[in-house]
Amino acid sequence: MAVTGFVLFGYVVGHLLGNLQIYIGRERLNHYAATLHATPTLLWGTRLVLLVCVTLHIIASIQLTRLQREARPIGYVKRKDVRANYASRTMMWSGPIIAAFVVYHLLHLTFGTIGPRHEEVDVYANVVNGFRVPLVSLAYIVSMLLLGMHLYHGLWSMCQSMGVSHPRYTPLLKKFAAITSVLIVIGNISIPIAVMTRFVGHDL
């Protein structure tokens, strides 16, 4: 769970840094996309690794949930989540929602099988045309907020799973997880907001 989460976190950061190039301009973003597609071995190798990691991450989450239920088949008479927060209590349903959104996101902007007109060589136009649909932007923003909560709990618990656990360091790890998650959410949702407010894409 922790290892696959670490790989997926790295991808989220890399994907965001690539997408933020939309603020540099149409030519820069399209060049970035063309560079990725110019190396199909690397592109599809990365996609294969991500697919394996996502699959193993889901399997691990199901196994952990099953172990928790087997450890305590009878529920608490009075439930009090002393150390749990909202992010940790919603991991099991935020994960599937994010996974469903990723599938939609791929069909929408990567493969162009759904949504507005898809231009194979103009990723900039695809992003702008896609996020000009209010419901699409809203779904993206909500999904990124859920991703932020998922990352917040996942990042610091990942460190604990890998042995980085100490009363002195745990508050720092939680702070790091919170700041990182917030920055990722802000970076991601800034793109549909920028498109809807015409800060980006006014030339289309």
* pLDDT tens digits, one per residue of 26-35: 999 999 999 9
pLDDT of residue 2: 87
For residue 59, tell me if it sits in a domain.
Answer: yes
Residue 177 lies in a domain: yes
Q: Is 104 a domain residue?
A: yes
The answer to whether residue 75 scores a pLDDT higher than 60 is no
Q: Is residue 202 part of a domain?
A: no
Tally of domains within the chain: 1
Domain for residue 203, yes or no? Answer: no
Residue ranges making up the domain that contains 131: 2-76+85-196
Q: Is residue 204 part of a domain?
A: no
What is the DSSP code (8-state) at residue 107? Answer: I
Spatial neighbors of 26 by CB under 8 A, at least 6 apart, are 122, 124, 125, 203
Task: With respect to residue 113, please indicate whether it lies within any of the assigned structural domains.
Answer: yes
pTM of this structure = 0.84
Is 176 a member of any domain?
yes
22 exposed, middle or buried (CB, 10 Å; 0-12, 13-18, 19+)?
Answer: buried
Picking from 145, 155, 143, 146, the residue whose alpha carbon sits closest to that of residue 1 is 155
Residues 50-61 have a mean pLDDT of 91
Residue carrying structure tokens 């450890």: 71
